[in-house]
Structure 1
């Protein structure tokens, strides 16, 4: 041996470890691979579908275990480590695809439900009910009938804003300058200019009922003036917040605004 030789210089002794093939490890490696893979798939699927908050820690822990120096037998099984890391990536991609499919279905269902959203609450001072006064009305636009362009209640903001708004009356389309008539006998309570209503009138009738006329071009009457049913009170205009000439008409009973559609349909 080289230790006893005086003429031959010593050489470093090398220990050659035979390469271990994937098959040399026996069936226990395959079993471990299958078990970990199935367990990981099951846990990740459950976490994704049930929206568990532990999904990220699960993945982090699993990937840490896949590092060669972290487990009992993976330290010497590089092939197994590479296999399990590939499984982790494949499972993540599969779960991501599945989740997008499930989430897409939920989004479609949500969109379908939003087609018929729950009714929004009615603003204070308004009612969704119709109201017919005890006295008869005349249609407030001379020579025009059935000209409603926007009814009472919730609607998309016509001024181009986002969301919806509660429309407190009926919009009646007519040419600018069309004569507006008092819907019933009464006294002018308000004749003024408003940022939204523009030029507008508010007439007090029997039993405290009121009618309101907005977006007028001109006002023919003044506060305190007594009016007869069908008397001219102004002309259709485009003042205030409007998208074109029309009359905005409201009907109030005991200070509450009601849907005037039925009252206008029965007006003479």
Structure 2
């Protein structure tokens, strides 16, 4: 693995990590969206996760054009969580964030998130609303982040965030065994120890497309999501809440083994499951149809 060091020895305020694996299609735009930020006191750490397309050339060009850009290259494809950990291990900023090679930062993103953490000295993580876009960059609608109190019901932290370096250090980075839900697991662990502050401003563009990790690994992601959420359920959680969360996890997937989640939801609160019978019946019909077709 090689590293291109910055010429300056001054520590930047923000370290932004961008893991890249064969992401040439939108990579130049993604990098540019970081470099044109209103807030300029940052370093961009590009982690080339053994790309074999034009990505290395695009990243090398960015390094030559802007001294705030650093480049790490992994000799073998390590996967997103490991690439993130490599990037943050080299980070020098007191504030951390990361973005993907197919998404875009709005120009004021870092300015607003840094200001939010500066204004809330007791908070550790700031997160903001974002907009969904398609392959062509057409805006599909705004996604509003939810309260952390509802984090067990779904990853409502969103795609736009900034957190203090001590969060990275305390949590030991991202779990490399949870490729696809590494961010959700990170937030679930962070919620036990750190304070979040929400900013309801649209500061990021999240691209939905068929080649994205979320689209290509949907069922595996559903399975891992169930695993990490069940692991995070506190013993003191009320029976109704436990049932709602378990049944919600089951209904978001068509995998047959999720029937066990339905059973555990029923054990936690039979009345809640019975009240959800219309939705549950539709889900069971889909599962049965898929089993017959398969």
Normalized against structure 1, the TM-score is what?
0.21
Structure (1 or 2) with the larger CA radius of gyration? 1
User: Which structure has greater helix proportion?
Assistant: 2
Normalized against structure 2, the TM-score is what?
0.19
